[in-house]
Amino acid sequence: MYPLKFEPILKQTLWGGDKILPFKHLSDNLTGVGESWEISGVEDNESVVANGPDKGFTLIDMVRKYREELVGEENYARFGNKFPLLIKFIDAKQDLSIQVHPNDELAKKRHNSMGKTEMWYVVDADKGAKLRSGFSEQITPKEYKERVFNNTITDVLQEYEIHPGDVFFLPAGRIHSIGAGAFIAEIQQTSDITYRIYDFNRKDAKGNMRELHTDLAREAINYEVLDDYRTKYDAVKDEPVELVACPYFTTSLYDMTEKISCDYSELDSFVIFICIEGSCRLADNEGNELAFCAGETVLLPATTENITITPEEGGNVKILETYV
């Protein structure tokens, strides 16, 4: 096996912007691209291998073919042929709807699906760009519903001005929304279940109000209030900095100016690299080498024992590393 790249799945949206294509060095003439699904095992949205002998296979084909070799023994026992993570870039030219995602128990009961715990890493942000995460004051489920109907739900949400490098962890049940001008990398459980709570009374291209899921969301929301919903970390050069560790994924940031070797010989999991800035070369213990640059995502199979990351001479590289 070898490091895998995939064809991006580009999603045109009502709120999409113009940052994803240049960031990924793509020449498509699409407009309003709000999302690029980098690695996806979601049904009908399965990523396709873009390099090497397995080019043209879907991600799920790869899991069925290689099983533990690709995802790791414990992951294969836990998830079977379902790939457990979904990786995206998101570019919001307008505010996204306020939404929430169900946890595993509720998602299984209602949709026979995984829940959706996720995290955001801010790649770029226009001046004054904001996002919302969590409640700013305690409310009841009854008050939540009233505030949705009288257009005051945003008054009780915590709002943050964002900058590149900001991180937010969003466990299933946390109310949230991405604001205009935000460009983020998103790591999440494999689930496409979103309960839309409030959409600012906007209309779609046909003049229709988009469907809301007020009642479904009411039971999915965690109403607890935290002092601060941001993830704080110390920025360190040339060594991994852990950002998030949860039952669904562990994510670290590598901010590099020099060559680094990563030892995965004791890790029973695939590893995903998401390049946020710069360019480098990846070389694994099997002798495979790969050019890797900003806007690209690579999946290292669980058989990878170690990999060396070499930044371009004189360059700086930022990579998100995530595994289950």
Binding-site residues, please? 101, 118, 176
- Tell me which of 67, 196, 202, 210 is the catalytic residue: 196
Q: Measure the CA–CA gap between 291 and 49, rounded to whole angstroms.
A: 16
With CA atoms as reference, report the closest residue to 284 among 66, 2, 50: 2
Q: Measure the CA–CA gap between 275 and 311, rounded to whole angstroms.
A: 11
- Find where tokens 């009233």 sit: 146
Return the exposure string of 165-181: e unless at least 16 CB atoms fall within 10 Å of the residue's CB, then b: bbbbbbbbbbbbbbbbb
Residues of each annotated binding site for Zn(2+): 101, 118, 176
Quickly list H helices, the chain: 20-23, 59-66, 68-71, 73-79, 104-111, 141-149, 214-220
Taking residue 143's Cβ as centre, other Cβ atoms within 10 Å add up to: 15
Give the DSSP H/E element, type plus range, for residue 18. Answer: none
Q: Measure the CA–CA gap between 148 and 160, rounded to whole angstroms.
A: 21
Question: Is 147 assigned a catalytic role?
Answer: no
Active site residues: 196
